[in-house]
Amino acid sequence: MSYIRFENLCKSYGEKEVLKDINLEVEKGTLVTLLGPSGCGKSTLLRCLAGLETVTSGKVYLDDKDITEVSPKDRGIGMVFQQYSLFPNMTVEQNVAFGLKIKKEDPSVIKKKVDEIIKIVGLSEQVKQYPSQLSGGQQQRAALARAIVTEPKVLLLDEPLSAIDALLRHSLQIEIRRIQQELGITAIFVTHDQDEAMVMSDVIHLMYDGHIEQSAEPIELYTKPKTKFVASFIGHYNLLDAGTIKNISGEQIDTESVAFRPEIIRISREPAEEADAFQMEGEIAFSLPHGNILRYAVMCGGTQVDVDVLFGDVEPFNTGDKVYLSVKKSECIFL
């Protein structure tokens, strides 16, 4: 039995339909991600679960109970936003304890819970500091501690890392995932960053234009996209229609289009002798480094094909070099 369930959920603002017949389930103790471009409805869906938005039609269930009309304060849901919203006149310790004090818990219980959660998020040395004295990452961990110290049924994270620099962001991704697994929290994470979703999630729900385009575990979503949008959004697939494939490889395909990832393409200075593969001839237009990857943009008959190679794996190509590409058909996705 799923722990969270959306049934035929719709949300409109006037004539604008933001969520379109959403059916989605979340298992207890998992971290799932709502991934998609800006404006696709992912934050709105999160707010419908939290009770911060009223639904137009459909139902929201938590632990097999209909909470569609339940007040936000009675849903047992914690939220962490992009803006940390820490109280500037309170120390870390006081910020984290705030929700427990509102619930009028015993002071000795509050002290014990606050000490435990501050230790888990790694802020033991900052307990007496104010938000203005903390780094961005420390503020985010304080906000996370404040959200989970009340032991919510569900933790919602709405793009909480988008304002943090890349190096710290990667560290916090791992930290949030560790804390979620250590405490067994059911969490829903919202992001537009596919790399972030791949690192953190048990399941990714990729949203587009108000509906779920595909739901799958990260590896399956990356290797088996079901639609053109998924292929274009996840993993930087080369997505070519049937006419283009025929034009640049000379082969006819009986599907509408074919997708293949940049890293599966073989690139060489001589034609490859490879059976059952698309063979293409082109010219290096430019190259861009991506970490330990070098991405070549190869123009094949007027069509750009992106090719990724590890630094040092092949002799570097220069702009204008004539090259040959080979892609095994078994590694392609026919859409």
Count of all residues that appear for the chain in the document: 335
Residues 34 and 99 in one domain: yes
Residues 106 and 190 in one domain: yes
Residues 129 and 273 in one domain: no
Taking residues 120-141, what's their average pLDDT?
91
Residues 229 and 211 in one domain: yes
Q: How many CB atoms are located within 10 Å of the residue 259 CB?
A: 18
Who's near 214: CB < 8 A, 6+ residues apart? 205, 206, 221, 225, 226, 227, 230
Q: How many domains does the chain have?
A: 2
Q: What is the pLDDT of residue 82?
A: 75
Residues 206 and 181 in one domain: yes
pLDDT tens by residue, 14-27? 999 999 999 999 99
Q: What is the pLDDT of residue 281?
A: 96
Mean pLDDT (the chain, rounded): 93
Q: What is the pLDDT of residue 243?
A: 94
CB 117 within 8 A of CB 194: no
Residue 83 has pLDDT above 80, yes or no: no
Name residue 212's amino acid: I
Nearest in space to 32 (alpha carbons), one of 114, 179, 155, 183: 155
Residue 166 has pLDDT above 90, yes or no: no
CB 59 within 8 A of CB 80: no
Residues 115 and 22 in one domain: yes
Band of residue 290 on the pLDDT scale cut at 50, 70, 90: confident
Q: What is the pLDDT of residue 41?
A: 96
* DSSP helix/strand/coil, 276: coil
Residues 137 and 277 in one domain: no
Residues 65 and 20 in one domain: yes
Q: Which residue has the tokens 């820490």?
A: 86
We report the CATH number of the domain holding residue 308 as 2.40.50.140
Residue 11 has pLDDT above 90, yes or no: yes
pLDDT tens by residue, 308-331? 999 877 778 999 999 999 999 999
Band of residue 40 on the pLDDT scale cut at 50, 70, 90: very high
pLDDT tens by residue, 60-82? 999 999 999 999 999 999 998 87
Residues 193 and 256 in one domain: no
Taking residues 51-62, what's their average pLDDT?
96
Residues 278 and 129 in one domain: no
Boundaries of domain holding 135: 4-233
Q: Using CA atoms, how far apart are residues 234 and 215, in angstroms rounded to an integer?
A: 12
Residue 245 has pLDDT above 90, yes or no: yes
Alpha helices in 26-185 (DSSP H): 42-50, 92-102, 107-120, 136-148, 166-183
Q: What is the pLDDT of residue 300?
A: 96
Q: What is the pLDDT of residue 34?
A: 97
Alpha-carbon distances, residue 135 vs 82, 122, 123, 126, 315 (angstroms): 15, 13, 11, 11, 43
Q: How many CB atoms are located within 10 Å of the residue 132 CB?
A: 9
Residues 211 and 303 in one domain: no
Residues 79 and 213 in one domain: yes
Q: What is the pLDDT of residue 316?
A: 87
